[in-house]
Chain A
Amino acid sequence: MRYSDIQTTRREFFNTTASGMGLAGLGSMLSDDGLLSVQNAQAAETQDPLAARDPHFNPKAKACIFIFMAGAPSHVDLFDPKPKLNELHGKPLPDSLLKNVRFAFLKKETATLMGSNRTFRPHGQSGTEFSDLLPNVGALADDLCVIRSLHSSQFNHHPGQLLMQCGAPRFGLPTLGSWLTYGLGSETRNLPGYVVLTAGRGSSGGATLWQSGFLPSLYAGVLFRNQGEPVLNLKNPAGLPPELQRRGLDVLQNVNRSRFQEIRDPEISSRIASYELAFRMQSAAPELTDLSGETRQTLNMYGIDRPEPEVGDSIGASAAGGTYKSFASNCLLARRMVERGVRFVNIVHASWDHHENLDRQISYNAKMVDQPIAALIQDLKQRGLLDQTMVVWGAEFGRTPLGQNDRADITGRDHHPYAFSMFLSGGGIRGGQAYGESDEVGWGIVKNPVHANDLHATMLHCFGLDHLRLTHRFQGRDFRLTDVGGKVIKELLA
């Protein structure tokens, strides 16, 4: 696609917005830097596809932190208490429910229900129940909206993860964060608008979980790294001091600018702007990831330096250890990013595929995430950021109420897309409620089913975007995040 096409698409997009375009971005920024004449700045301004823009209608949320628990945690052990499941432990499911159902590993002919060893109790005024594995998150019940009625069409990880990130289980589609930055632009001049943080081992989807699909790579997530420089190629070559980098850039920008004056290709102005942003990012990104300015109290609240339990065979851990610290740091970094105007932070943590040793594995991982996530929500709240920041916790599916029986000891659960749970907080979401219901054993949905398309439609709504109008034409079709479905669930809105 040529750049001008992107511009055309942008124009289409703005023509459909009620409020027209808000162009704070690049042009003025370049003028600030004295890099462009006013006239050139205007030319460049129309070119900046990342300039912050007004949405379709008044938004509640401005930023999103999506905490993606790849591998898929068990809903019946964390969010969806099922006393009946415990009662029926060891009993089979009726055939009628198993007909037409497929599993990854489980042998359904002989499978039996497996009760949960967790204890649940109500929290807060709302009385939403959480499992004993999430004491800190549970304590925030009144700020949380738990959805217990999600369902998916996919029971393998990678397709399921694509569905949750892109709205359909296919390759080549933009992810949620891409759509948000495409629709709203970026609020930061020094950092990428869409950032990805990972801890522990890689996820099934790898880089496809933050791809921009058919949108330009400008809208792809930028991975912040846990080791070395926070962003690839951020550091100057060894031996090159900042002053010579700046000096070299000045020469480069001059040469490019005179080329622009000769040739009048606005792409040259965009390139000049990209280099300036790159230069600013060289100092802004290390500043962002430097936690030394945070108080000890804050660091403790997130549990950055908590003792890490024995790694053992815990599947969430990286072999080198330190995953507890990485995950907690990622939560704190997410807050710092939101403070600095990052639109979308995707925290990917792939450790929840508990086919065996469920109790040990889920304890290890829940303990890893409970305190930092609770800290993040509290921290955002006390800084007055929660109202405009949506925190979402979820995964590609849930896990079977049946025990996984293709192995000697039945100690884990298989993939289960027919009912699972997530939670949301802040950013225009009404806390203190549990929405939707699964049946008495957490198998199917009995009330208010929610598809990823519905979830995405609702999320976009909070950002002031109509999911039917946020489209991009590709291969003759107007694609949207919500594929061919999606409805805004009013009950979730504050």
Chain B
Amino acid sequence: MPRFHQSQCPLPATSWLLASTLPFLLIFTGAAIAQSESNPIVFKTDIRPLLETYCFKCHGAGKREGGLRLDHRTSALDGGDSGVILQAGKSSESALMNRLRSADDDLKMPPPGDDNKPLSNAQIALIATWIDQGAAWPLDPADAKLSSDHWAFQSLRDTDVPVVQNAPAVRNEIDSFVLARLEQAEIAPSPRADRFTLIKRLYYDLLGLTPSIEEVDAFVHDNSPQAYDRLIDRLLKSPHFGERWGRHWLDKARYADSDGYEGDRPRPNAWRYRDWVIKAINTDLPFDAFTRQQLAGDLLPEATHDQRLATAFHRQTLTNREGGTDQEQFRNEALFDRVATTGAVWLGLTIGCAQCHSHKYDPISQREYYQFFAFYNNGDETNTAVPTSDKAMTQYQTQMSAWNARTEQLNAELANALNIIEPHAAAWEADLRKRSEASPPEFHTLDFSELTAESSAAFQRLDDGSYLVTGNRPEKDKYSLTVKLDIAQVTGIRIETIPDSSLPGGGAGHADNGNFVLSDLRVYYGGLENPDIEHDRVTIARGRADFSQENYAVVQAFDSDTSSTGWAVAPQMSEPHEAIFTFDTPLERTDDAWCRIVLAQDYGALHTLGRLRISAVTGIDPRDELSPAAWEAFEIARNQRSEAQHNALLTAFAHTQPETRETLKAIAVHQKEEPQVPMMDVRVISQRTTNPRTTHILSRGDFLQPLEAVEPASFQVLHSLKPRSTGRPDRLDLANWLVDSSNPLTPRVAVNHVWSYLFGQGLVTTMNDFGLRGDAPTHPELLDWLANQYRGPLGWSRKALIKRIVSSGTYQQASWHRPELADTDPDNSLLYRQNRFRVEAEIIRDLCLSASGLLARKIGGPSVFPPMPPDVAALSYANNFKWNTSEGSDQYRRGLYTFFKRTAPHPNLTAFDCPDSNTSCVERRYSNTPLQALTTLNNQVFVEAGQALAQRALTDSAKSDEGRIASVFRRCVARPPDSDELAAFTDLLQESRKWYGEHPEEATLLAGKVPKGQPTPETAAWVTVCRIILNMDEFIVRE
């Protein structure tokens, strides 16, 4: 029973009013000082026997209470959970002495009672003197290295393929290893499974989809000896293979589409890494490169987009955005996760256990943990832009070259036209100068007769003709201002924004900082009755402002894009500003003409106008007819203009000329059609280049309690690290170390993973623990042989390894249980048969969709939102997340594309043991619950699959009930039904048919969408049958 340690209670148990407590830390005796230095204490003879007698029982190799070992020099000097226990030369500051001398029974060591003999005062004094003399603890040869004779840490053995008696049963070497063990145990292997089972097994294992009836028939009737091999090759080439095996990897990567923790915000671009995984597996990226890219893609020479993207593997860690969190704490949490995940996925070790204290079972010290941690400590969380997909990039390049060609063509056309009009430019310019001098611009402040706001805002007219907008500040607003316009030849309007002390920040807007965003300006001119119709809309040709905020140019207030962007003025909120909008053609004066000006302010966050004045503009300001560049040229004498200035003015002229206008318009349209580069930001890891962090051992894993500094290094118990350069080793060195030809763990662990997906359990059944507490391999020679093959001849090819395994006779055995062996080998650890196991959550969905023909086979892309009850998403914190159900074919994508929100995952996934993705999962669990039965019986997607299957049955070429039932049955489980099964389903069909014949309304509800002319009750009857077939055990079990 652990005693109450002080460190367990976060604050000293104290009366806070007691200004000074006398902590036990300060109590010490001076007895030891009496020992003279000329009488040095010898560790081996004086101290070690004391430790052995009084301490080893709880702090030895076995128990390691409090994470402390005193029988081993390195471990003892590293200290325990509470940190270092010895301060050489300073006994009074050494935690060990404090505990030996404590008056508090809860702290005193050895603990009083429990048959523990206390140390005498003289013995305590002896230890104190030893510490004061420098705590000399000589190296023991056994201490030099944390070594181990545990099987997993030994090099791969070059194992000979055994010779077996039953040679005909050997399809490849794997079988020799398995048969050798079986023959020893005098157990015969199971016969080869029938062809129906074999094709179903391969489809489930390699693609996670059902084979079609045609595919089954083709294989079953293929008498060639290569039939099975050809099937394997075909499936390994399918793009669905990458989805199936990619999902296995995503389990390990703890992939999700949200941050985790309280806020659990969506990560809308997370899917891009999923696409990387699918592609890497489909292109069979060798496992060593696969490893290097994901752990250190950013450090590869001239890293490509794909290689940088691969580092998103370690960006799947959680992000805590809860208010008031210490970001450094959660940066460390993410690093702990990266270390633990690397250990679990590549090494099959629980190295996370050494975070707070040296590992209790495996030879990994806490110091080594932080040396390993140091590799990751300088990998920063950053974003980088990558192509949204290879396909999109190729498309873009094609489109771009077409677009460039068109640009050249248009430019040539324009150049020709300009040549034609150029001689007339001077006359046009002189005319513009003359007109503007004859009628200079004038501004007529408008006094509106009607002012309304979409909010409850009120308009107060001030003496200067401006309006102050008062009332509750709405998030967004739209002002509608109407005036009878009795002015001739209005060429545009001017909006002045006027700062006001009554407004936030003394600006002209209502935002907290005084800003506003005018997102859309519309002017209508015509009869009053209904001035809002498009007919009366006045085209605004040009706008200019005395000042515009970066990225908030005035043009955005009247362009065709009606989104929330617009004209804003930060950081000059406290200055007055004006914007002048010029109409396409001046407004003709009529007798009863009304003008309505509508100012939309859709940006949100209170960015609405607070004080403004609007004037009608008459007369001509050349600036309003010219682009800024042309205006600049206009002000300069003709002969002093640069070529650019000349061209700017010529272009302005060209806008007024019919010969060139169309071309310019075409160019403007064309420019808007420039293809967008299909790039997107993704989360990656990038090596920190400035201020690299120093890594410290953290006492008890607490980032607030750093101990001594450490440098990146690998584990002593394994092969040595070979850095690429003499500097500090980095993540790429670590990745190289993991796939180094001397690493005994990585190939064994990787092979074991692949094996487990094909047999339902690994050769090492403790998938995540190859350490001392894990199980020994059932077939150690086979494991090493496969590991050697994978790393050597197979060149780390995942597909080649899978092919080797599924080609074996061992894999092809029937999976029927053999009750006579239930006592000898209940777990089938000798592999005398294949295993039967339920498929994963995503695959259950995929099987249903593929059998029923509903599956949308698109590979990759953003996550989708299949139907889900709204209250499930609402369960996450503050209901901050809307599940916008996908439409169309996106409702029927494979399960791995379902958006995964960590605090509220889709219930169809969790019901079938889908991992929570908060930590790496190298092995799924398989439970068998009533909620699963309810899901496949009643959930929408499964009912829809039943309906779709019913449609397929009713349009099947077979006309009899039996024939059609057999078709449905075969679509689901590949084999034809036997006569009992056929009879049972036929009975069900007939009863249902009768019932729905009498209950047409219910039939309509169950049948789903029924094609014209097809009787609904008949459809409904088929649905009842099809959904039961979809619920057969055999359907969701890999047999």
**Which A residues form the contact surface with B (CB < 8 A)?**
1-6, 8, 49, 93-94, 96-97, 100-105, 151-153, 155-158, 171-172, 192, 198, 201-208, 211, 214-218, 220, 222-223, 225-228, 231-241, 243-245, 247-249, 251-252, 254-256, 258-259, 262-268, 270-271, 274-275, 277-279, 281-282, 318-319, 350, 414-415, 417-419, 439-441, 443-447, 449, 451, 468, 473-477, 484-487
Q: Check if B773 sits within 8 Å of A255, measured CB to CB.
A: no
Distance between B1 CB and nearest chain A CB, rounded to angstroms = 6
Q: Check if A244 sits within 8 Å of B991, measured CB to CB.
A: yes
Q: Check if A476 sits within 8 Å of B1003, measured CB to CB.
A: no
Q: Which residue of B lies closest to A272 (CB)?
A: B1033
Q: Which of B322, B827, B1005, B1037 contacts A238 (CB 8 A)?
A: B1005
Q: Check if A153 sits within 8 Å of B919, measured CB to CB.
A: no
In the assembled complex, the Cα of A405 lies from the Cα of B575 at a distance in Å of 35
Q: Check if A263 sits within 8 Å of B836, measured CB to CB.
A: yes
In the assembled complex, the Cα of A446 lies from the Cα of B919 at a distance in Å of 37
Distance between B732 CB and nearest chain A CB, rounded to angstroms = 28
Q: Check if B324 sits within 8 Å of A105, measured CB to CB.
A: yes
B residues less than 8 Å from A6 (CB atoms): 925, 927
Q: Check if B910 sits within 8 Å of A207, measured CB to CB.
A: yes
Distance between B694 CB and nearest chain A CB, rounded to angstroms = 22
Q: Check if A1 sits within 8 Å of B879, measured CB to CB.
A: no
Q: Check if B771 sits within 8 Å of A476, measured CB to CB.
A: yes
Q: Check if B15 sits within 8 Å of A1, measured CB to CB.
A: no
A residues less than 8 Å from B2 (CB atoms): 484-487
**20 A–B contact pairs at CB < 8 A?**
A2-B761, A49-B927, A157-B322, A171-B260, A171-B318, A201-B874, A202-B875, A204-B262, A233-B934, A240-B1002, A251-B984, A263-B817, A266-B817, A267-B1037, A275-B937, A417-B10, A418-B10, A445-B9, A477-B360, A487-B1
Q: Check if A158 sits within 8 Å of B262, measured CB to CB.
A: yes
In the assembled complex, the Cα of A239 lies from the Cα of B835 at a distance in Å of 39
By the criterion of a CB under 8 Å from any partner CB, how many residues of chain B are at the interface? Answer: 121
In the assembled complex, the Cα of A151 lies from the Cα of B923 at a distance in Å of 35
Interface residues in B313-361 by Cβ distance below 8 A to A read 318, 320, 322-326, 344, 350, 353, 360-361
Q: Which of B765, B871, B905 contacts A227 (CB 8 A)?
A: B871
Chain B 51-86, CB within 8 Å of chain A: the 1/0 string?
000000000000000000000000000000000000
Given contacts A274-B932, A414-B324, 18 further A-B contacts (CB under 8 A): A2-B760, A3-B927, A4-B826, A156-B324, A158-B322, A207-B904, A208-B918, A217-B910, A218-B927, A225-B869, A237-B938, A237-B1023, A240-B1006, A252-B1032, A439-B14, A444-B13, A476-B362, A477-B360
Interface residues in B916-943 by Cβ distance below 8 A to A read 916, 918-919, 923-935, 937-939, 943
Chain B 499-537, CB within 8 Å of chain A: the 1/0 string?
000000000000000000000000000000000000000
B residues less than 8 Å from A93 (CB atoms): 16
Q: Check if A228 sits within 8 Å of B991, measured CB to CB.
A: no
Given the interface pairs A259-B1033, A475-B350, the reply to whether A251 lies near B875 with Cβ below 8 Å is no
Chain B 1004-1037, CB within 8 Å of chain A: the 1/0 string?
1111000000000000100111011001111001
Chain B 991-1007, CB within 8 Å of chain A: the 1/0 string?
11001000101111111
In the assembled complex, the Cα of A319 lies from the Cα of B903 at a distance in Å of 20
Distance between A349 CB and nearest chain B CB, rounded to angstroms = 12
Interface centre among A2, A220, A440 (most CB of B within 10 A): A2
Q: Check if A1 sits within 8 Å of B925, measured CB to CB.
A: yes
Q: Which residue of A lies closest to B829 (CB)?
A: A4
Interface centre among A206, A207, A243 (most CB of B within 10 A): A206
Q: Which residue of B lies closest to A8 (CB)?
A: B827
Q: Check if B836 sits within 8 Å of A265, measured CB to CB.
A: yes
Q: Check if B916 sits within 8 Å of A445, measured CB to CB.
A: no
Q: Check if A244 sits within 8 Å of B933, measured CB to CB.
A: no
Q: Which of A94, A101, A264, A414 contacts B11 (CB 8 A)?
A: A101
In the assembled complex, the Cα of A330 lies from the Cα of B943 at a distance in Å of 31
Interface centre among A153, A198, A235, A252 (most CB of B within 10 A): A252
A residues less than 8 Å from B919 (CB atoms): 171-172
Chain B 786-823, CB within 8 Å of chain A: the 1/0 string?
00000000000000000000000000000111110000
Q: Check if A439 sits within 8 Å of B928, measured CB to CB.
A: no
Q: Which of B818, B918, B934 contacts A232 (CB 8 A)?
A: B934
A residues less than 8 Å from B992 (CB atoms): 244, 247
For residue B226, CB closer than 8 A to chain A, the reply is: no
Q: Check if B916 sits within 8 Å of A446, measured CB to CB.
A: no
Q: Which residue of A lies closest to B769 (CB)?
A: A476
Distance between B340 CB and nearest chain A CB, rounded to angstroms = 9
Distance between B815 CB and nearest chain A CB, rounded to angstroms = 8
Q: Check if B14 sits within 8 Å of A446, measured CB to CB.
A: yes
A residues less than 8 Å from B934 (CB atoms): 231-234, 278, 281-282
In the assembled complex, the Cα of A407 lies from the Cα of B788 at a distance in Å of 64
In the assembled complex, the Cα of A231 lies from the Cα of B82 at a distance in Å of 47
Number of A-B contacts defined by CB within 8 Å: 318
Q: Check if B4 sits within 8 Å of A487, measured CB to CB.
A: yes
A residues less than 8 Å from B988 (CB atoms): 247-248, 251
Given the interface pairs A244-B992, A247-B991, A441-B16, the reply to whether A239 lies near B1020 with Cβ below 8 Å is yes
Q: Check if B9 sits within 8 Å of A449, measured CB to CB.
A: yes
In the assembled complex, the Cα of A100 lies from the Cα of B704 at a distance in Å of 9
Q: Check if A239 sits within 8 Å of B1007, measured CB to CB.
A: yes
Interface centre among B905, B929, B946, B988 (most CB of A within 10 A): B929
Top 7 closest A-B pairs, CB basis?
A104-B324, A206-B903, A239-B1005, A239-B1006, A476-B773, A171-B918, A216-B927
Q: Which residue of A lies closest to B1034 (CB)?
A: A259
Q: Check if B15 sits within 8 Å of A446, measured CB to CB.
A: yes
For residue B837, CB closer than 8 A to chain A, the reply is: yes
Q: Check if B1027 sits within 8 Å of A248, measured CB to CB.
A: yes
Q: Which residue of B lies closest to A454 (CB)?
A: B4
Chain B 860-890, CB within 8 Å of chain A: the 1/0 string?
0000000001011011111100000000000
In the assembled complex, the Cα of A281 lies from the Cα of B933 at a distance in Å of 11
Q: Check if B773 sits within 8 Å of A477, measured CB to CB.
A: yes
A residues less than 8 Å from B772 (CB atoms): 476
For residue B472, CB closer than 8 A to chain A, the reply is: no
Given the interface pairs A207-B905, A248-B1028, the reply to whether A216 lies near B913 with Cβ below 8 Å is yes
Q: Check if B827 sits within 8 Å of A151, measured CB to CB.
A: no
In the assembled complex, the Cα of A443 lies from the Cα of B10 at a distance in Å of 11
In the assembled complex, the Cα of A255 lies from the Cα of B988 at a distance in Å of 12
Q: Which residue of B lies closest to A216 (CB)?
A: B927
A residues less than 8 Å from B905 (CB atoms): 207
Q: Check if B1028 sits within 8 Å of A2, measured CB to CB.
A: no
Q: Check if A275 sits within 8 Å of B19, measured CB to CB.
A: no
B residues less than 8 Å from A258 (CB atoms): 980-981
B residues less than 8 Å from A153 (CB atoms): 10
Q: Which of A208, A248, A259, A449 contacts B4 (CB 8 A)?
A: A449
B residues less than 8 Å from A105 (CB atoms): 323-324
Q: Which residue of A lies closest to B995 (CB)?
A: A244
Q: Check if A217 sits within 8 Å of B927, measured CB to CB.
A: yes
Q: Which of B771, B926, B1027 contacts A216 (CB 8 A)?
A: B926
Q: Check if B320 sits within 8 Å of A476, measured CB to CB.
A: no
For residue B719, CB closer than 8 A to chain A, the reply is: no
Q: Check if B816 sits within 8 Å of A262, measured CB to CB.
A: yes
Q: Which of B350, B925, B927, B937 contacts A278 (CB 8 A)?
A: B937
Q: Which residue of B lies closest to A348 (CB)?
A: B875
In the assembled complex, the Cα of A440 lies from the Cα of B14 at a distance in Å of 10
Given the interface pairs A217-B910, A232-B869, A263-B816, the reply to whether A151 lies near B10 with Cβ below 8 Å is yes
Q: Which of A157, A278, A439, A445 contacts B933 (CB 8 A)?
A: A278
Distance between B333 CB and nearest chain A CB, rounded to angstroms = 9
B residues less than 8 Å from A4 (CB atoms): 826-827
B residues less than 8 Å from A270 (CB atoms): 928
Given the interface pairs A278-B933, A445-B11, A446-B13, the reply to whether A211 lies near B916 with Cβ below 8 Å is yes
For residue B696, CB closer than 8 A to chain A, the reply is: no
A residues less than 8 Å from B1 (CB atoms): 468, 487
Q: Check if B933 sits within 8 Å of A275, measured CB to CB.
A: yes
A residues less than 8 Å from B344 (CB atoms): 475
For residue B907, CB closer than 8 A to chain A, the reply is: yes
Q: Which of B838, B878, B902 contacts A201 (CB 8 A)?
A: B878
